[in-house]
């Protein structure tokens, strides 16, 4: 499937044919030999996986889809890479993304865009378009994504796949190139809710190498996915602010049908209000770009990746740094570094970053208050179907506005899943379920009931 799909879809930046086959043969041999070693194999042993190219691997390049890291090979593996290797899952390769995960369409990749597997003239979502398309087009049964502001859930909705942003800290981020550290989270992309749960079960757990890692694993997720379709007693809150104006009519129709399915399964659904969500986009784009400007400082033209030495004028470290960053970063990364540097500069800090952090607290309180009355919250995953290639690429704020449904979750640190919920004009749409911190199991129980 990868051989056939790659020419038109461009989901992969690197295909690891030999490495994946070697792992697959190893699992075959263990199974054939039987005995204790075969018994001890993880349930996902032999199941191939694709990895977003933001996660470092020692046996293939890691670029973050940036020209800055063209051909760069990490000297160590990310913790999630090691967990995948230990489970003996063949790694099929590294998937395409918006440069350093900044974007909503995968059009900001330094290595060409990825096309939607349902309509090649449309974007697959972003930043994790490659992982979503790899799974959606049967090139991989599972993939790894990262979600700072929707980059797992939004592409999942646009490609008819399942994607989860776990509770902040549930999965190690050691060896995952940082975008905005207070928001970043690794998570699964899959074809079914149970598959996603199996992968999150594998990756969940404390990592002493990640200072934000939770002390206890969030487990029992695949068991929750298998717990049956009876939702008697489950209370679901429909977020008033995340539907209505600006949402495609057919998307809202599919959403209504989903609510009906949940009600038929025994759940009670009622509307709840989270009044501060209207400020979420503004707060996110300030906090995220501030953290981006700090995290991108590591790409200095000295330590690793691209180095451009100016041929004229004095040879100073600042000029090497400037020339390397000018040549290595794409426009969207530069835009965010500039915005973030401005927002953090002295005299503006309180007015922008400080204020955005206060808004973040208000949004967290809105979620906590809502979860006093309901078990999960629900919204359409996206206000529309996947847009056409080129439609928003020259209008950054139009691109940013498309994130309105997904980013409040990252600001609050809570878990959320996008599950396919039907088609609109032949294109997939999804529904998003959100749960309180550490209650990821609820997403899998209720998500599975919608399949």
Q: What amino acid positions are annotated as catalytic residues?
A: 52, 127, 151
Which residue matches tokens 């939702």? 231
Do 202 and 168 touch, CB atoms closer than 8 A?
Answer: no
Residue 148 engages ligand GLN in binding (rule: CB under 6 A): yes
Residue 187 engages ligand GLN in binding (rule: CB under 6 A): no
Residue from the set 56, 80, 84, 102 that interacts with ligand GLN by CB under 6 A: 102
Q: Please name which of 385, 388, 351, 364 lies closest in space to residue 436, comparing C-alpha atoms.
A: 364
Q: How many residues in the shown chain lie near ligand GLN by CB under 6 A?
A: 14
Q: Which is nearer to ligand GLN, 66 or 104 (CB)?
A: 104
Q: Give dist(CA 197, CA 224) in Å, integer.
A: 8
Which span (95-103, 193-201, 211-219, 251-259) binds ligand GLN, by CB under 6 A?
A: 95-103
Residue 403 engages ligand GLN in binding (rule: CB under 6 A): yes
Residue 103 engages ligand GLN in binding (rule: CB under 6 A): yes
Q: Shortest distance, CB of residue 165 to ligand GLN, whole angstroms? A: 8
Which span (20-28, 34-42, 58-66, 97-105) binds ligand GLN, by CB under 6 A?
A: 97-105
Q: Shortest distance, CB of residue 291 to ligand GLN, whole angstroms? A: 11
Which span (2-10, 141-149, 155-163, 259-267) binds ligand GLN, by CB under 6 A?
A: 141-149
Residue 90 engages ligand GLN in binding (rule: CB under 6 A): no
Which span (41-49, 88-96, 101-109, 384-392) binds ligand GLN, by CB under 6 A?
A: 101-109
Partners of 122 in the beta sheet? Answer: 388
Residue from the set 16, 104, 293, 432 that interacts with ligand GLN by CB under 6 A: 104
Q: Judging by beta carbons within 10 Å of its beta carbon (0-12, 13-18, 19+), is residue 391 exposed, middle or buried?
A: middle
The tokens for 426 are 């032949």
Residue 383 engages ligand GLN in binding (rule: CB under 6 A): no
Residue 195 engages ligand GLN in binding (rule: CB under 6 A): no
Residue 114 engages ligand GLN in binding (rule: CB under 6 A): no
Site for ligand GLN in 275-294 (CB under 6 A): 288
Residue 127 engages ligand GLN in binding (rule: CB under 6 A): yes
**Helices 79-86, 193-203: crossing angle, 10 deg rounding:** 110
Residue 330 engages ligand GLN in binding (rule: CB under 6 A): no
Residue 439 engages ligand GLN in binding (rule: CB under 6 A): no
Which residue matches tokens 């549930």? 170
What character string, x for contact with ligand GLN (CB under 6 A) and - otherwise, covers 164-183? ---------------x----
Residues forming contacts to ligand GLN in the complex (CB under 6 A) are: 101-104, 127, 146-151, 179, 288, 403
């Amino acid at each position: 499937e990868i051989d056939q799909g790659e020419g038109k879809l461009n989901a992969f930046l690197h295909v690891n044919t030999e490495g994946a086959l070697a792992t697959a043969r190893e699992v075959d041999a263990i199974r054939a030999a039987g005995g204790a070693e075969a018994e001890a194999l993880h349930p996902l042993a032999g199941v191939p996986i694709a990895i977003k190219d933001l996660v470092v691997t020692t046996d293939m390049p890691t670029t973050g889809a940036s020209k800055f890291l063209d051909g760069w090979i990490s000297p160590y593996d990310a913790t999630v890479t090691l967990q995948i290797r230990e489970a003996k899952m063949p790694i099929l390769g590294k998937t395409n993304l918006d440069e350093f995960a900044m974007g909503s369409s995968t059009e900001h990749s330094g290595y060409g865009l990825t096309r939607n597997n349902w309509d090649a003239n449309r974007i697959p979502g972003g930043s994790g378009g490659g992982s979503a398309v790899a799974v959606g087009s049967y090139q991989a049964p599972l993939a790894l994504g990262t979600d700072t502001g929707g980059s797992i859930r939004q592409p999942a909705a646009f490609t008819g796949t399942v994607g989860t942003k776990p509770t902040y800290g549930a999965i190690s981020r050691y060896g995952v190139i940082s975008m905005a550290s207070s928001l970043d989270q690794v998570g699964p992309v899959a074809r079914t809710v149970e598959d996603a749960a199996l992968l999150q079960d594998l990756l969940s757990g404390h990592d002493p190498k990640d200072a934000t890692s939770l002390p206890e694993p969030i487990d029992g997720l695949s068991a929750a996915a298998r717990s049956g379709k009876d939702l008697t007693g489950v209370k679901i809150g429909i977020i008033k602010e995340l539907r209505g104006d600006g949402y495609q009519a057919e998307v809202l129709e599919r959403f209504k049908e989903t609510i009906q399915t949940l009600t038929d399964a025994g759940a009670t659904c009622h509307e709840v209000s989270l009044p501060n969500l209207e400020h979420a986009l503004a707060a996110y784009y300030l906090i995220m770009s501030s953290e981006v400007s700090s995290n991108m400082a590591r790409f200095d033209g000295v330590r690793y990746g691209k180095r451009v030495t100016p041929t004229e004028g004095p040879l100073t470290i600042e000029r090497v740094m400037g020339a390397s960053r000018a040549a290595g970063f794409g426009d969207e990364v530069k835009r965010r570094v500039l915005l973030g540097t401005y927002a953090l500069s002295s005299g503006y800090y309180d007015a922008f970053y400080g204020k955005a952090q206060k808004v973040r607290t208000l949004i967290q309180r809105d979620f906590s208050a809502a979860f006093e009355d309901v078990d999960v919250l629900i919204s359409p995953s996206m206000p529309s179907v996947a847009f056409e290639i080129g439609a928003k690429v020259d209008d950054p704020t139009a691109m940013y506005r498309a994130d309105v449904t997904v980013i409040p979750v990252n600001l609050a640190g809570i878990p959320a899943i996008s599950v396919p919920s039907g088609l609109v004009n032949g294109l997939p749409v999804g529904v998003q379920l959100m749960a309180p911190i550490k209650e990821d199991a609820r997403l899998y129980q209720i998500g599975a009931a919608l399949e």
